[in-house]
Amino acid sequence: MHLLAYLKQNSKVSEPNNITHALERVANPYWHQDNQSLYLTVYENGVPNIVRLNVDSNEQTTVAKHYVSYRPVNGAQGYHGIAVDQ
């Protein structure tokens, strides 16, 4: 389990902003191009789901169920790479 947090650049706040809690199992964070959201794997009852998490509102949107990690494919607009949990 990981506690996921971030620091904003040029911020006067020296403490990280927690965006998950210690009991939540998350992995594979990856920043979205908009710099407002993260893609990450959230495990619910042992099942991995990829979500997009808005770091300002803490709103989560499910992107893909039963997958472990998510990475955009460079140079291929509109396509994404997904690692399958086997």
pLDDT value, residue 74: 62
Residues of the chain with pLDDT under 70: 1-11, 13-14, 18-23, 72-86
pLDDT value, residue 61: 92
Contact between 72 and 56 under an 8 Å Cβ cutoff? The reply is: no
Give all strands of the β-sheet with 26-31 in edge-to-edge order: 26-31, 37-44, 47-54, 60-65
